[in-house]
Amino acid sequence: MLKLVFAMALGAAIPAGQAQEAAVQPSVDSAAERVTLRNLSACLAKSRPRWARQALAKPYLSPDQESLLRDAMSGGDNCLNGGSKLQVSVRSSGMVSGLAEHFLTTELDRVGLKRVSAELVKVTSLNASEDFALCVAARNPKAAQGLAMSEPGSDAERQSAESLAKGIQPCLNPGETSKIDLQSFRALAATALYRGLTSAQGSRG
C-alpha cells in the first residue's frame, strides 16, 4: 500500500531583488515519487470528479484549496491500494498539478489548444501566483502543454520547462527575480491551462 506523508506546500518563489535571467531549479522530489503522486491524483480525480473540480476552482494554494486537498483521502475510493511501496510526500502543488493534468488529458483535445490559448489572456486570475502562471503560459501555450502533460523526470519535461522559462521575465514585476523549481513550475503551467480550459468550456469550476 502507498504510504503518504503530507508535506509543506510547494509553490512559486518569486522574491524581490536584482533582475536576472530566469532559471528553473531541479525538482524537490524524485521522478518516481512525482509519478506516484500524479497517478494518485488522477485516480482521485476520476473517482471523485466533483471534489477535484471544487478544489481546482479555488485560488492556487490558497487556504480554501489546501483545506479541500486535505480531504483527499476521505472518500470511499481505492486509490491508495495500488502496488507502490513508496513513501510519497503529498505536496499541495503536486496534487493540484495532478488533478489539473487529469482533466487536461481527458478534455483538452476536445476543446483544442487554440481556444484555450485565447482564454489565457482573458481569464481573471484568482491570486498573484495565478496571474504569473497565466502570463507565462499565454506566452508559450505549446510549451505549457508540453510541460504539464510530459512524464515527470523525462527529457520532454525538462525541454518544455526550459522553453516555457524563456517567457518568465516579462511576467515579473520590476526588480523581481524568479527562482522556481520544476515541480512548482509544472503545477503553475497545469493550473493556468486548466483555467483556460474551463473558461473555454464556459465554466470556472
Q: What is the pTM of this model?
A: 0.87
Q: Are 168 and 184 in contact (CB under 8 A)?
A: no
Mean pLDDT of the chain: 86
Q: 88-137 pLDDT, tens per residue?
A: 677 899 999 999 999 999 999 999 999 999 999 999 999 999 999 999 99
What average pLDDT score do residues 57-74 get? Answer: 91
Q: What is the pLDDT of residue 17?
A: 41
Provide the pLDDT for residue 22: 54
| pLDDT interval class at 16 (50, 70, 90) | very low
23: region left, alpha or beta (phi > 0 left; psi from -120 to 50 alpha): beta
pLDDT tens digits, 76-92: 667 877 555 556 677 89
Closest by Cα among 57, 58, 61, 59 to 11: 61
Which pLDDT score, from 0 to 100, does residue 99 have?
98
